[in-house]
Amino acid sequence: MSAAQPEADAAPDPEADPDPAADPEGGRRPSLRWWREVLYILAFYGVYSVVRNTQGSASVSESRAFSNALEIIRAEKALGLYHEPGLQQTFLDWRWFIEFWNVFYGTFHFVVTVVALVLLFRRFPARYPQWRNTLAATTALALVGFATYPLMPPRLLPSSYGYVDTLRAYGSLWSFDSGPVARVSNQYAAMPSLHFAWSMWSTLVLCTVLTRAWSKAVVVLYPVATVFAIVVTANHFVLDAAGGALVLGVGAVVGFGMAALSSRGRSPGRAGRHPGDGAVTNRA
């Protein structure tokens, strides 16, 4: 019997760490750089903002946006969904309550979405590209909706429809009537609701990575809270949220498909769970 086997013939150590470049599905982890992702996101959002806002409210026919709003109201009445005026009127006397939802509407869709993106990037890199692509595709598809179906939100309808512009009446951290927002915002970019689409995206992302029951419950309720916010502040109709869900579904097909095509170009690695890609347990 020989004194020693060549090193190349030694059996693999089952306790050894998996290939740091391998993802859980047996492919190669994407090569991610935080600064490059930031540049991608900033560039995409810059293009999105320019396209959305240079064709803002001033360049869109008010009569067309109003006509589309009447179509939405008729459709919701036919479906038994048109309860927006009554819901808003229920809470208008609670000033502090409305002020909170004004802040929620103006900030949460950015903050929560960014948190979900950062969590994916730092702790779940193998999942990051498909969800990042989904978010980008969803947002791009929303531009198509804004361009082809300008929609007057409830708060801009004549007072006879029973809506109150809560941002103007109660105030918040920002305003559509003054500052940079007034100059660039397309106030007829209501269909689909990106607030709802991004909230559903965030929930789908976070539900797959959080483990504690209470944290899952919070993120599941987030889209529900978003629907309430967009309705009680009279920024959207309920069907706008349905439009948001639709573009998210199509965006997911596009985003996951793009990630799958990209992964085919990476060399296969040893299957195994990467130590940096697991569920959040103590951070939920």
Block residue for tokens 């007829």: 188
Block residue for tokens 């690695």: 269
pLDDT of residue 239: 98
Whether the per-residue pLDDT at 53 is higher than 80: the answer is: no
User: pTM for this structure?
Assistant: 0.76
| Alpha carbons 251 and 9: distance in angstroms, whole number | 48
Chain centroid to CA 103: 17
Percent of the residues in the chain that have a pLDDT greater than 70, as a whole number: 68
pLDDT digits (tens, 9 = 90+) for 7-22: 444 444 443 334 434 4
pLDDT digits (tens, 9 = 90+) for 66-82: 999 999 999 999 999 99
What value does the mean pLDDT take over residues 242-269?
A: 83
| Alpha carbons 33 and 31: distance in angstroms, whole number | 7
Cβ 193 vs Cβ 227: under 8 Å: no
| For the chain, domain boundaries | 75-263
pLDDT of residue 124: 84
Cα–Cα distances (Å) from 155 to 57, 88, 164, 249, 274, in that order, read 14, 11, 6, 28, 49
pLDDT digits (tens, 9 = 90+) for 20-46: 344 444 444 556 665 666 676 677 677
Cis peptide before 192 (omega within 30 of 0): yes
pLDDT digits (tens, 9 = 90+) for 104-163: 998 999 999 999 998 888 888 888 889 999 999 999 999 889 888 999 999 999 999 999
Whether the per-residue pLDDT at 250 is higher than 70: the answer is: yes
- Say which residue, 141 or 259, is predicted with more confidence: 141
| Alpha carbons 170 and 192: distance in angstroms, whole number | 25
Give every CB contact of residue 49 below 8 A, 6+ residues apart in sequence.
Answer: 184
The encoded tokens of residue 236 equal 């959207």
The encoded tokens of residue 43 equal 């560039």
| Alpha carbons 188 and 177: distance in angstroms, whole number | 14
Q: What is the dihedral of CA 19, 41, 247, 252, to 10 degrees?
A: -10
CB-based burial label for 257 (10 Å; 0-12, 13-18, 19+): middle
Instruction: Give me the half-sphere count of Cα atoms (radius 13 Å) on the Cβ side of residue 229.
Output: 22
- Which residue type, as a one-letter code, is found at position 157? L
- Say which residue, 276 or 219, is predicted with more confidence: 219
CB atoms within 10 A of CB 216: 17
Angle between the N-to-C axes of helices 128-148 and 238-263, in degrees from 0 to 180, rounded to the nearest 10: 140
Whether the per-residue pLDDT at 200 is higher than 90: the answer is: yes
Whether the per-residue pLDDT at 202 is higher than 60: the answer is: yes
pLDDT of residue 122: 82
In the structure, what pLDDT confidence band is assigned to residue 185 with cuts at 50, 70 and 90? low
